[in-house]
């Protein structure tokens, strides 16, 4: 059930695990048109249909959880999850069963979600608070823009409330501000939007704040254009540098720890 993952400091440079991840579904009903994961499943040929319209779950999940030797990963941090939200309504019960089995065996978890349903399991996580960090993803505080780029995701405000509940319970918390979009007709002032997110985060002081700009994956720019969100791919390289520079300034201004994940590696001199 636990598989190798590149989302670690030794792999992609993203410190979200110690090289392990748990994914227990194919697909994600959040249907975010920017998401990179749909390109993975398209290439695999394992699914057909529009991203967001399918969610395949194993019929023997409880059996797999019981048969997994969780002690193999005692002391190791595992990401839950890297290719879907573990707290989709259809998956929340499975997420809890995984945590119950893994935490009791000493596994550490980085739980990555956009779903307030994770709040149900905060009492469980708090019993093992030294083994858990709960992280949310948030791309914008603009509600109209959020509805376009995250059509079926709970509101940014609901996710911030989840983060506060986790912090109040003594959990380590984190935020991934992503994807940060360049200026669009629907949300032209990206700088103000990014700073507004920081102004909210400083209230709850997450342990880490990560950020990254929109990446080109598969035909995600075309899917965004269908929503009326048009992005010129030529702008993304220089924007990555500008956004990273502002992100790092805001980290210093608000006294938060964090890392910007650059997609376009050349140095930015703007």
Question: Which has the closest alpha carbon to 229: 263, 183, 194, 178?
Answer: 183
Question: Residue 107: is its pLDDT beyond 80?
Answer: yes
> Under a CB-based contact definition with an 8 Å cutoff, are residues 65 and 98 in contact?
yes
Other Cβ atoms within 10 Å of 162 Cβ, number: 23
The answer to whether the Cα torsion of 5, 7, 9, 12 is positive or negative is positive
Average pLDDT over residues 112-128: 98
Kindly provide the residue ranges of all beta strands, DSSP E only, lying in 67-216, ordered along the sequence. 77-80, 108-113, 132-138, 172-180, 208-213
Average pLDDT over residues 21-47: 83
**pLDDT, position 268:** 40
- Domain edges within the chain: 2-260
> Under a CB-based contact definition with an 8 Å cutoff, are residues 257 and 205 in contact?
no
Question: Residue 231: is its pLDDT beyond 80?
Answer: yes
Tokens at 141, concatenated:
């505080």
For 53-102, the pLDDT digits (tens) are 888 899 999 999 999 999 999 999 999 999 999 999 999 999 999 999 99
Q: How confident is the model at residue 269 (pLDDT cuts 50, 70, 90)?
A: very low
> Under a CB-based contact definition with an 8 Å cutoff, are residues 31 and 55 in contact?
no
Fold entry, domain 2-260: pyruvate-formate lyase- activating enzyme (3.80.30)
């Amino acid at each position: 059930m636990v598989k190798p993952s590149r989302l670690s400091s030794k792999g992609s440079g993203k410190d979200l695990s110690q090289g392990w991840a748990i994914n227990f579904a194919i697909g994600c009903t959040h249907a975010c048109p920017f998401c990179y994961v749909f390109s993975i499943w398209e290439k695999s040929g394992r699914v057909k249909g529009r991203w967001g319209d399918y969610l395949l779950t194993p019929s023997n999940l409880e059996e797999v959880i019981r048969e997994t030797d969780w002690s193999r990963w005692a002391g190791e941090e595992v990401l839950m999850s890297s290719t879907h939200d573990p707290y989709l309504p259809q998956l929340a019960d499975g997420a809890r069963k995984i945590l119950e089995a893994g935490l009791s065996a000493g596994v550490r978890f980085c739980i990555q979600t956009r779903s307030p349903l994770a709040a149900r399991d905060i009492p469980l996580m708090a019993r093992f608070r030294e083994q858990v960090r709960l992280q949310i993803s948030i791309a914008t505080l603009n509600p109209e823009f959020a509805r376009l780029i995250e059509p079926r995701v709970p509101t940014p405000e609901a996710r911030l409330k989840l983060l506060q509940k986790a912090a109040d319970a003594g959990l380590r918390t984190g935020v991934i501000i992503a994807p940060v979009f360049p200026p669009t007709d629907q949300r032209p002032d990206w700088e103000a939007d990014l700073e507004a997110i920081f102004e909210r985060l400083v209230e709850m002081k997450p342990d880490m704040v990560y950020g990254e700009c929109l990446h080109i994956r598969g035909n995600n720019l075309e899917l965004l254009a269908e929503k009326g969100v048009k992005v010129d791919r030529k702008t993304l390289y220089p924007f990555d540098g500008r956004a990273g520079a502002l992100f790092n300034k805001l980290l210093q201004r608000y006294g938060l720890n964090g890392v910007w994940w650059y997609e376009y590696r050349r140095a930015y001199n703007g």
